[in-house]
Amino acid sequence: MFRVPVLHLPEANPDRSETSMPSSRPPFRADHVGSLLRPQALREARARWQAGEIDRSALAAVEDRAIRDVIALQESAGLQSVTDGEFRRTAWHLDFLTGFEGIDATGEGYAVSFKSADGQVASTSSMLRVTGKITRPKPIMVDHFDFLQANTSRTAKFTIPSATYIHMRGGRSVVDATAYPDMDEFWSDLANAYQQEVADLAAAGCTYLQMDDVSFATICDENVRERVRADGENPDDLPTLYTRIVNSMVANRPEGMAVTVHTCRGNHRSMWMAEGGYEAVAEAVFSGLEVDGLFLEYDTNRAGGFEPLRFVPKGRRVVLGLVSSKVAALEDREQILRRIDEASNYIDVDQLCISPQCGFASTEAGNALSEDDEKRKLELLVDVATQVWGEL
């Protein structure tokens, strides 16, 4: 198991996860993961830009209009947190992670299988490699946040991928041994690069930051665990290692910035790549992450039961992903209420919130539902949250 360096960071505040959170601090009772369905006009403009038919400024103008519209959609649904839908990205992770010097995208060497409820199977081969020393020569997405904040009166929520993605697919083999003969140095440089981006987001006024992580939930799947072993890693060691890594990414955040972690089992064109309950990682992850809230997928039995919630400390919120972003059918209100009640057997209901289990469009292709379906699901979350916890 790799040893994570101290990185000369301030010691974690032991009170951060042990004291109660004010109701106005994120995550909110009705929340969402971040990505939203791209409108057709935006998809067409991006295709034209990729084909060289329009320039970057013309694409940005279409993005600006689409983001203003999707902000209005979220506000009209009654949400307290508002994102830009990740409309300036092709995918939830690639655009951000390749913004660091030393990290490159490749389509070779690591195919990942996705499954759908009707038995379809697909695969993607997107992968990242560390080809040199990791640095952050300039801000990556601070300008994205600036535009979002300038166009909403609600809490501007910004989402970034967790750095564990890089190591989860391939382990040591994806990190160039010439650049990093010592893995501790790799983790240290990666953490420092993240801390710089987080510091600039905080300086820009960001008070709600979410890190999207596919390692914690997927490592509960035995097929994924076998792949991790084939990569030369021990899946039993990774939850503790990755927890420490995620903590290091946001260790220097100001007290006024709430941070959450979203766990994901894969989300691509309404398909998923992993299943299995949280028991294998719950003790290390739920109690070890020094964050304000956890977004946990609970839309199907692929996530297992609520028993692992017993490891969540007092004062930390859990956002139950009880509404599916993968299917068009609107969930039954009474079923959502029953699920909240079931979860409260293992964690105080005052620590709970609700959301979709994932984003509606982790990639620009989006999931198999309409923008109207998306809005109705967001409105349902707000209605149910108001019924359970009172006026939002």
pLDDT single digits (tens) 146-173: 999 999 999 999 999 999 989 988 899 9
Tell me if 368 is assigned to some domain.
yes
When mean pLDDT is compared across 99-103, 137-141, 262-266, the lowest value belongs to 262-266
- Is the pLDDT at 14 greater than 70? The verdict is no
How many domains are there within the chain?
1
pLDDT of residue 19: 40
pLDDT average, residue stretch 128-138: 96
Task: State the CATH number of the domain containing residue 191.
Answer: 3.20.20.210
pLDDT of residue 26: 97
pLDDT of residue 21: 44
Sorting pLDDT into bands at 50, 70 and 90, what band is 97?
very high
In the chain, beta strands by DSSP E: 81-82, 101-106, 112-115, 121-124, 127-135, 155-161, 208-213, 258-263, 293-297, 317-323, 352-356
Tell me if 107 is assigned to some domain.
no
- Is the pLDDT at 386 greater than 90? The verdict is yes
Tell me if 204 is assigned to some domain.
yes
- Is the pLDDT at 90 greater than 60? The verdict is yes
Higher pLDDT, 198 or 217: 198
Tell me what the pLDDT averaged over the chain comes to: 90
Tell me if 279 is assigned to some domain.
yes
- Is the pLDDT at 302 greater than 70? The verdict is yes
Tell me if 13 is assigned to some domain.
no
Tokens of 147: 């535009």
pLDDT of residue 18: 40
Tokens of 14: 């032991």
- Please state the separation of Cα 325 from the chain's center in Å: 14
Beta bridge partners of 123: 113
- Is the pLDDT at 178 greater than 80? The verdict is yes
- Is the pLDDT at 252 greater than 60? The verdict is yes
Helix axes 40-50, 56-77, angle to 10 degrees: 160
Tell me if 46 is assigned to some domain.
no
Sorting pLDDT into bands at 50, 70 and 90, what band is 22?
low
In 140-257, beta strands by DSSP E: 155-161, 208-213
Range of the domain at 169: 80-102+132-173+180-389
Supply the pTM of this predicted model: 0.91
- Is the pLDDT at 13 greater than 50? The verdict is no
Sorting pLDDT into bands at 50, 70 and 90, what band is 115?
low
pLDDT average, residue stretch 348-365: 94
Residue of 301, 359, 369 whose CA lies nearest to 330? 369
pLDDT of residue 256: 95
Tell me how far apart the alpha carbons of residues 287 and 335 are, in angstroms, rounded to a whole number: 28
Tell me if 381 is assigned to some domain.
yes
- Is the pLDDT at 73 greater than 90? The verdict is yes
Residue of 361, 364, 390 whose CA lies nearest to 35? 361
CA dist 312 → 246, 250, 278, 293, 346 (Å): 17, 19, 12, 10, 9
pLDDT of residue 274: 74
pLDDT average, residue stretch 222-230: 90
Sorting pLDDT into bands at 50, 70 and 90, what band is 287?
very high
Tell me if 47 is assigned to some domain.
no
- Is the pLDDT at 7 greater than 60? The verdict is no
- Is the pLDDT at 366 greater than 80? The verdict is no
